[in-house]
Amino acid sequence: MKTILDNIGVITARVLNQLRRDRRFVAISILFPLIIIYFIKIVFDVLAPPSFNISQYVVPYAAFIVHFITFILTAIVLVRERVAGTMAQMFVVGYKQIEIIIGYLLAYTVLATVQSLLVLLELNWLFDLGFSSAQFASMYLVMWLLAVISMAIGMLVSNFARNEGQVFPFIPLVILSVILSGIIVPVEKLPDWAQILSYLTPLYYANEVLQELLKGGTLLDDWLMFAILPIYGLVVVGIASISLREKD
Amino acid sequence: MNETASIVIQNLDKFFGKQKALKNVNLSITKGQIYGLLGPNGAGKTTLIRCLIGATKPTKGNLSVLGFNPISQKSKVRGLIGYMPQSPALYEDLTAFENIRFFSFPNRKDNFAKRINEVIEFVGLTKRAHDQVYKFSGGMKQRVSLACALVHHPKILLLDEPTTGIDPKLRESFWHHFRDLTQQGVTILVSTHQMSEAMFCDRLAIMHEGILLADEPPRQLLWKQQAKIKIRKDNKVGEKVVSHYPEQLPKLLQKFGLDASINRIEIEEETLEQVVLEMIHTHEKEINSGDNS
């Protein structure tokens, strides 16, 4: 067990060390969501009527942006490792699948923690949403969980791509999840078969919990939806670990 | 298994779809030997090495590395081997020291940091140890990659073209070090394109299109060479091509009775490169004639 923890620690430290030196990657990960949210503010200022409940939409939109950017960057970084041969070399020297996945997840979680916090602070300030500290902390937890799940999905997808270009066919699936999650139209309005697909996207559960919080509720009010998020993350991490390929 | 054999390969096949990368390969590598894999690109050298490190699953056949199966007993094998890939697999934004530390961490032993510095010194990178790898030339990256394979004192070294891009002086020092390692019982399997390096090996396998064409000491391979004998008697020049010339040459000269008027004998030997190329060409002709028939 100590060996596993030591190896996870070394992988995490190595990825954080690389992130520290890759300022462009860190800047893209953190600044892009903030810039997109700024433009969403401009769109809402122009299009939304005065009586429109902005928070009902902008908070889930922000959650989607974090979900999308985190997913795509994680997938590309891991595919890059595969192309460079460093992933194969990690296996050859004795690192195990679960150590690699968790090592990466812990390192990128540091990035997701900062990213989710800045996104929520920007939302609160830009749209003057006036969240209470309890509301803010709960929303932060949901958004953070979603970011971590997005990374795990990115890792899973990277296992099925031989180069960066092969990540792109997966992007429409993530975009489709906006419609399936109920952010734009209520899930009940979707065809029955599409409603089943909604349950496959983590954005659906995050949106359900966020809507409850925006109405003034707590995480316990919709505890089942909230509990599904970490379970969803664990399942994806498990599948990503099992499917992490070493052989040709 | 032969007790002195570190690596045993029996009836090994590896197919990638319809492409046959290895066809019925059999070989045994003795402990403490430098075993060379020689052949053109696509011969199957890298695939063979990747089968031995457990990164590629053979389609058929048996493999044994120090008595373990590299596929089913991967974790036991990996602590005992050092592998250097053909293209350096390194993190460009990490330093040489950080790369070596990361890629040898799971197999670390006592005095880990001291050992890393030792191998860095051996590959001649002490002054650049804390520079990021993206600033390095191709040859320097090769040296970092070799250092990664050496840190944990492996019992078997699998080196895929280790001296590509390395200057001749450092290459010579690498080979001296490889020889020293074999004195300590380390077995080395090295693939190479360089014929001059092949002569440093105790035994050579010539590979072409996944098939093992020869498995012999390099000196024995050279005996297969043809020699062109030119004999000048008075003002006439006679030429004869002989095979296995170390045995045939004396017989040939006896026919001439070593006449006093024979004042000059020139022998133009084929190089090892020509011997290997000849074997490959013959194999290609066999394949083509097989296709046509």
B286 Cβ contact partners less than 8 Å away, ≥ 6 residues apart: none
> How sure is the predictor about A173, in pLDDT bands with cuts at 50, 70 and 90?
confident
Rounded to the nearest 10°, the torsion over CA B272, B277, B282, B287 is 140
Residues of B in contact with A6 (CB under 8 A): 105
pLDDT digits (tens, 9 = 90+) for B207-226: 999 999 889 888 777 766 66
Determine, for residues A247 and B98 on separate chains, whether the beta-carbon distance falls below 8 Å: no
The beta-carbon neighbor of A92 closest among B16, B78, B132 is B78
What are the Cα distances from residue A143, in Å, to A65, A119, A136, A197, B237?
10, 9, 10, 21, 91
Q: Alpha helix (H) ranges present in B124-217?
A: 138-150, 168-183, 195-198
Pick from B66, B36, B35, B38: which is nearest to B53 by CA? B66
B120 Cβ contact partners less than 8 Å away, ≥ 6 residues apart: B96, B97, B100, B126, B129, B147
pLDDT for res B156: 95
> How sure is the predictor about B127, in pLDDT bands with cuts at 50, 70 and 90?
very high
The beta-carbon neighbor of B79 closest among A7, A84, A94 is A94
pLDDT digits (tens, 9 = 90+) for A3-49: 899 999 999 999 999 988 888 888 988 899 999 999 988 988 888 77
pLDDT digits (tens, 9 = 90+) for A92-125: 999 998 999 999 999 998 988 898 899 999 988 8
> How sure is the predictor about B269, in pLDDT bands with cuts at 50, 70 and 90?
low
Task: Determine how many CB atoms are found less than 10 A away from the CB of residue A46.
Answer: 7
Burial group, residue A22, by CB count within 10 angstroms (0-12, 13-18, 19+): middle
A84 touches chain B (CB under 8 A): yes
The two tokens of residue B170 are: 């450092």
- Domain B5-221 classification at class level: alpha beta
Across chain B, mean pLDDT equals 85
SS3 for B45? Answer: helix
Across chain A, mean pLDDT equals 89
pLDDT digits (tens, 9 = 90+) for A198-207: 999 999 999 9
A2 Cβ contact partners less than 8 Å away, ≥ 6 residues apart: none
Q: Are strands B19-30 and B5-16 parallel, antiparallel or unpaired?
A: antiparallel
Whether B2 has a pLDDT exceeding 60, the answer reads no
Determine, for residues B56 and A247 on separate chains, whether the beta-carbon distance falls below 8 Å: yes
A246 touches chain B (CB under 8 A): yes
Q: State how far residue A84 is from chain B, nearest Cα, in angstroms.
A: 6
SS3 for B28? Answer: strand
What are the Cα distances from residue A246, in Å, to A5, A106, B5?
21, 21, 27
Q: Which domain holds residue A237?
A: 2-243
Picking from A18, A93, A98 by the largest number of B CB atoms within 10 A of its own CB, the best residue to mutate is: A93
B133 Cβ contact partners less than 8 Å away, ≥ 6 residues apart: B90, B91, B92, B93, B94, B95, B96, B99, B141, B144
Residues of A in contact with B83 (CB under 8 A): 89, 92-93
A21 touches chain B (CB under 8 A): yes
Q: State how far residue A245 is from chain B, nearest Cα, in angstroms.
A: 10
> How sure is the predictor about B186, in pLDDT bands with cuts at 50, 70 and 90?
very high
Pick from A142, A150, A152, A153: which is nearest to A60 by CA? A142
Q: Which of A55-64, B166-175, B245-254 has the highest mean pLDDT?
A: A55-64
Determine, for residues B103 and A94 on separate chains, whether the beta-carbon distance falls below 8 Å: no
Rounded Cα distance between A161 and A169, Å, is 10
A208 assigned to some structural domain: yes
The beta-carbon neighbor of A247 closest among B55, B85, B103 is B55
Arithmetic mean of pLDDT, B256-262? 61
Count of structural domains, chain A: 1
SS3 for A68? Answer: helix
Could you tell me what percent of chain A has a pLDDT over 70?
99
- Beta-bridge partners for B63: B9
A183 assigned to some structural domain: yes
A14 touches chain B (CB under 8 A): yes
SS3 for B196? Answer: helix
Arithmetic mean of pLDDT, A241-247? 79
pLDDT for res B273: 74
Q: State how far residue A15 is from chain B, nearest Cα, in angstroms.
A: 10
Whether A11 contacts A99, CB under 8 Å: yes
A89 touches chain B (CB under 8 A): yes
Whether A172 has a pLDDT exceeding 90, the answer reads no
Rounded Cα distance between A165 and B24, Å, is 36
- Minimal-distance CA residue of chain A relative to B101: A10
Please identify which residue in the block is written with the tokens 């002709």. Answer: B285
| Greatest pairwise CA separation for chain B in angstroms | 74
pLDDT for res A185: 87
Determine, for residues B90 and A92 on separate chains, whether the beta-carbon distance falls below 8 Å: no
Whether B251 has a pLDDT exceeding 70, the answer reads no
- Minimal-distance CA residue of chain A relative to B132: A21
pLDDT for res A248: 52
Whether B114 contacts A103, CB under 8 Å: no
A248 assigned to some structural domain: no
Q: Are strands B60-65 and B5-16 parallel, antiparallel or unpaired?
A: antiparallel
Domain boundaries, chain B: 5-221, 222-292
Whether B32 has a pLDDT exceeding 60, the answer reads yes
> How sure is the predictor about B53, in pLDDT bands with cuts at 50, 70 and 90?
very high
Whether A50 has a pLDDT exceeding 80, the answer reads no
